[in-house]
Amino acid sequence: MLKVAIVGAAGRMGRTLVEAVVRSDTATEVAVATVLPDDPALGVDIGLLAVGAALGVDSVAVLDPEQADFDVLIDFTSPQATMEHLEICLRGKKAMVIGTTGLSSEQQRAIEQASAEIPIVCAPNMSVGVNLCLKLLQDAAKVLGDEVDIEIMEAHHRYKKDAPSGTALKMGAVIAEALGRNLEDCAVYGREGISDERDRKTIGFATVRAGDIVGDHTVTFAGLGERIEITHKASSRMTFASGAVRAAHWVAEKGNGLYSMQDVLGL
């Protein structure tokens, strides 16, 4: 039985992760769940919050890896909180699955350094469909080369803080690498006013934040006379949560190292 710790368990994604564990066909259980110290859900059975049935696991504010019995920690919180959880897992030699977005370069380096001591799956999107799209985007970029303009459009709910999304940035990075470009040099984030003719070597990003959109991503390869669009639309957070549970089972059997969902899925 794989024992999972879920941090931020009272949030939208946290509750979905609990539900994904309960619904999983694999031998998985929620061993510990954390919430913020001032959250009304503190001390409440996490199952009542997520699935309407008690699981026998009351939420806690502090995660102690030396006392809590778990194998893998799943983290979809915030960059600062993820760094704190990373230190906890390092102390307890616990594996991690990180789906947090908006991580800085310094924070990403910290995760990479930690992976020398614990196994970590870190990906901006745990969806199987999105990761399949990344493979398709790589192939499309290699075939179409510099003959097209490339634009990445993404939309998320009004509460999402980072922009562009981590998924959109990952898509851009995959395309840039396939074309031998550096995304930091060729990315264009939004346009306004009068400008020169579009530079075909750039990769454009457009962002929408509205309502309860779970996550839409479209990459357009536009030539003169035709265009190709690769789109992924998420209608439920369950697609991300199910992928995270799958990643947790996979990484629990791996040695120390930093892995992606491409590794998990064998892509």
Options 3, 157, 160, 254, the catalytic residue: 160
Is 156 one of the catalytic residues? yes
- Of the candidates 85, 94, 156, 170, the residue annotated as catalytic is 156
DSSP states along the chain: -EEEEESSTTSHHHHHHHHHHHH-SSSEEEEEEB--TT-TTTTSBHHHHHTSS--S-B-BS---TTTS--SEEEE-S-HHHHHHHHHHHHHHT-EEEE------HHHHHHHHHHTTTSEEEE-S---HHHHHHHHHHHHHHHHHGGGSEEEEEEEE-TT--SSS-HHHHHHHHHHHHHTT--HHHHEEE---S--PSPPTT-EEEEEEE-TT--EEEEEEEE-SS-EEEEEEEES-THHHHHHHHHHHHHHTTS-SEEE-HHHHHT-
Q: Return the active site residues.
A: 156, 160
